[in-house]
Amino acid sequence: MAFLKKISSSLSDAELVEQFKQSSDLAVLGDLYQRYMDLVYGVCLKYLKEPEDAQDAVMAVFEELVTKLQKHQVENFKSWLYTLAKNHCLMRLRSLKKTPVTKMKEEFMQSEENGHLEDVMLREENFTQLEYCMAQLATDQRKVIEAFYLQGKCYNEISAETGIDWNNVRSYIQNGRRNLKLCMEKQGKKIMV
């Protein structure tokens, strides 16, 4: 796990953050990161479950840290790093859900073309309903839902790009999901009748 050179420093987290922002010296950032690497590993292991995946995530979080620390104003490095690691893991899990890798035995595979055609038609019908329901959402709600679910952006990115307060972004996503679900259910009932 010790992929960074260990440098002993008596500087505070805030001083090291400021020193890194001014110099972009990876040794300074490495010293700061080394202090909390076990915390990051623990967070990653909690979410990703596999030690190898958690180790990879620890490395990836450090790489993210190099650029993100330059862009953000960090007052409490430890809690900010915890949030960064958690968000990294959640985004990784979300991307894995979008492209799941599943091994299936041949006997479980459906080979009739009619079954596949019905599935395609049902999916197309659901997409049509979803487009209709998305159009029914309020403009800001629709923008936030599209950014979060279709573009895979986090709350902070959406808030920064749209100028919408972070709490409102969260609210729009929750309410938008509920409104879409209700609309889809309503549309489904109309079609079945």
Tokens of 51: 């030690």
What does the pLDDT read at residue 106?
63
For CA atoms 73, 17, 21, 92, give the dihedral sign: negative
> What span, in angstroms and rounded, lies between the C-alpha atoms of 138 and 116?
35
> What span, in angstroms and rounded, lies between the C-alpha atoms of 187 and 13?
54
Tokens of 167: 């709490």
Was domain 13-98 assigned CATH 1.10.1740.10? yes
Within 8 A by CB and 6+ apart from 41, the residues are 1, 54, 55, 58
Only one residue has tokens 């950014």, namely: 147
Cβ atoms of 80 and 74 within 8 Å: the answer is yes
For residue 101, which amino acid is it? V
> What span, in angstroms and rounded, lies between the C-alpha atoms of 72 and 14?
13
> What span, in angstroms and rounded, lies between the C-alpha atoms of 176 and 179?
5
**pTM for the model:** 0.48
Only one residue has tokens 């001083």, namely: 15
The CATH fold assigned to 106-192 is: Arc Repressor Mutant, subunit A (1.10.10)
What does the pLDDT read at residue 82?
94
Q: Going residue by residue through the chain, which has 193 residues, state the pLDDT in tens, using 9 for 90 and above.
A: 444 444 456 889 999 999 999 998 999 999 999 999 999 999 999 999 999 999 999 999 999 999 999 888 888 999 999 999 999 999 999 888 766 566 666 666 555 544 566 777 777 877 788 888 888 898 899 999 988 888 888 989 999 999 999 999 999 999 999 998 888 888 775 443 2
Tokens of 152: 């895979």
Cβ atoms of 158 and 169 within 8 Å: the answer is yes
Residue ranges of the domains in the chain?
13-98, 106-192
> What span, in angstroms and rounded, lies between the C-alpha atoms of 63 and 73?
18
